[in-house]
Amino acid sequence: MSLDTAHLKNFLEMIAAERGAAQNTIDAYSRDLDQFLSFLDTRGRNAATSDSKDVQAYLQTLTDEGLASSSRARRLSSIRQFYKFLASEGIVANDPAAGLSGPKKARALPKVLSIAEVDRLIAAAASRTEAVEGRELFRALRFLCLLEILYATGMRVSELVSLPRSVLRGDPRVLTIKGKGGRERMVPLNPAARQALDRYLAVSGRFDNSPWLFASKAAEGHVTRQGFALDLKEIADIAGIDPERVSPHVLRHAFASHLLDRGADLRAVQQLLGHADISTTEIYTHVLQERLKKLVNDHHPLAKK
């Protein structure tokens, strides 16, 4: 057994005994460090004689191989933990992985639906208001109203379901809502959302004394985020859209990206979403850029040559 193999064995035993690491975690460390130690061997080095240049060379090799940044970050984390163990055991005097910065994780782009898919969701919700009455009609109209207002305003789902009934005062074309940090903002209602709201209010009389616009018998007194999300997935299934792709937050993303796609000003979208920092809103411009890239790659006659 080589020294490196013995050191790795001792390290794995340590994380199992002292940290209570699960077997999957131990296996992942073993795979990551086996590959790193094999790389050192090709350079005529081992864990005890390696330096920061060896670790950097290994990370560069992973980059050249096209390994995802998240996977490279995990490999570096494994190497750091291994060298900390070797240093604590007096096997290495200096930690060659100390001070090395890991790869930056790519910012995940928001998931969005197309305009046609949102139209299908709304059409499916509207169809549920037909040929029903009583409680079923009330629930169907309440859900349709929630959906129309969410897509019309891009509100956070927590803001939407907890709207107070007092938002109905004043100009019916806009809602004044209180967002994060107690900041108030005005969001406009389009004609479809206003019509859905009027239809819902016409059947919600039994909740007229409730302080909540979307009152329910839930403990909170209003529709819950979880309940609305479940109803949304049910409608997605009816509309022929994978329910896993649909959530209230995805519709908020759709609102923002569809506005920008139609030429809306980024600052205006920031205000509508209630973002404190415009850098948060800028992520939607990346969504559009990726969509344009895909369009060119899929349809340009020279793209596949």
Query: Any idea where the domains of the chain sit in the sequence?
Result: 3-88, 115-299
Q: Among the options 74, 194, 275, 291, which is catalytic?
A: 275
Q: What is the pLDDT of residue 278?
A: 76
The model's pTM is 0.60
**Active-site residue among 75, 120, 142, 252?**
252
pLDDT band of residue 299 (cuts 50, 70, 90) is very low
Q: Which amino acid appears at position 109 of this protein?
A: L
Q: Where are the beta strands (DSSP E) in 41-164?
A: none
Cα distance between residue 297 and residue 18, in whole Å: 51
252 is catalytic: yes
Q: In the prediction, which pLDDT does 191 show?
A: 95
180 included as an active-site residue:
yes
Residue 300 falls in the annotated catalytic set: no
* Catalytic residue of the set 7, 128, 142, 156: 156
Question: Is residue 70 predicted with pLDDT exceeding 70?
Answer: yes
For domain 3-88, the CATH class is mainly alpha
Banded pLDDT at 301 (limits 50, 70, 90): low
Concerning whether 275 is annotated as a catalytic residue, the answer is yes
State the architecture of 115-299 in CATH terms: Orthogonal Bundle (1.10)
pLDDT tier, 246 (very low <50, low <70, confident <90, very high otherwise): very high
How far is the C-alpha of 171 from the C-alpha of 62, rounded, in Å?
59
Residue 103 Cα distances to 30, 75, 79, 82, angstroms: 21, 11, 14, 19
pLDDT band per the 50, 70, 90 thresholds, residue 3: confident
Is the model more confident about 213 or about 112?
213
- Note the pLDDT of residue 160: 94
Distance CA 43, CA 29 (A): 21
pLDDT over 50 at 296, yes or no = no
Exactly one of 19, 180, 183, 300 is catalytic; name it.
180
Between 295 and 121, residue with greater pLDDT: 121
What pLDDT shows up at residue 304? 57
